[in-house]
């Protein structure tokens, strides 16, 4: 690791610990040339996931975009940011584990709906109304009926 102060390429690790999210390792290093200390972060390298949009275009998976759509669905609901970040991380992990490099946006939307259904049913319905693009009140009511049936089955 190259020292940011003197450019010397040899350093020793003084301290190593995971970050709060356990997604990176924080390493405190000491330069063997000048003796100054600096911090580096180690992350797992992942293969990028391409999202295939409805119109056939492709874009890089953006966890912030997914988080923002979940935040919009949960607006004025008692859902914590931490719950939504965990949901996004779980979806991202599912996508990484699938080993598919290109994923239709409909698959990601389905994962998001599944997560929201367990977090907050009203937010789920909000998300579903945008995601499924309900054409009329009947298609919206059909989705609500399915939700009610599932809710009754679990009681």
Structure-derived torsion over alpha carbons of residues 106, 150, 98, 84, reported in degrees to the nearest 10: 80
User: Are the C-beta atoms of 87 and 116 separated by less than 8 Å?
Assistant: yes
Instruction: Give Cα 15 distance to the centre of its chain.
Output: 29
Report pLDDT for 32: 97
Q: Is the pLDDT of residue 134 over 70?
A: no
Kindly tell me if the per-residue pLDDT of 128 is higher than 90. Answer: no
Check residue 136 and give its pLDDT: 66
59 Cβ neighbours under 8 A, 6+ residues apart: 50, 51, 53
User: Whole-model pTM?
Assistant: 0.64
DSSP E strands in the chain: the ranges are 11-18, 24-31, 37-43, 50-52, 58-60, 102-104
Is the Cβ–Cβ distance between 10 and 33 less than 8 Å? yes
Tell me what the mean pLDDT of segment 93-106 comes to. Answer: 90
**pLDDT at 132 exceeding the cut of 80:** no
Whole-number pLDDT of residue 144: 75
Angle, to 10 degrees, between the axis of helix 121-131 and the axis of helix 105-119? 160
Domain ranges for the chain, please list them.
11-43, 50-148
Residue position matching structure tokens 């991380």: 89
């Amino acid at each position: 690791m190259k020292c940011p102060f003197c450019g010397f390429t040899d350093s020793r690790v003084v301290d190593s610990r995971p970050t709060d999210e356990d997604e990176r390792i924080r390493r405190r290093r000491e330069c063997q040339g000048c003796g100054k200390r600096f911090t580096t972060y180690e992350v797992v390298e992942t293969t990028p996931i391409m999202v295939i949009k409805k119109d056939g275009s492709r874009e890089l998976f953006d966890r912030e975009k997914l988080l923002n759509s979940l935040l919009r669905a949960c607006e004025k609901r008692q859902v914590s940011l931490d719950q939504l970040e965990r949901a996004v991380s779980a979806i991202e992990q599912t996508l990484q584990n699938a080993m598919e490099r290109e994923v239709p946006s409909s698959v990601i939307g389905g994962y998001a709906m599944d997560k929201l259904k367990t977090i907050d049913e009203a937010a789920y319905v909000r998300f579903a109304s945008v995601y499924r693009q309900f054409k009329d009140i009947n298609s919206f009511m059909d989705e609500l009926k399915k939700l009610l049936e599932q809710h009754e089955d679990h009681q």
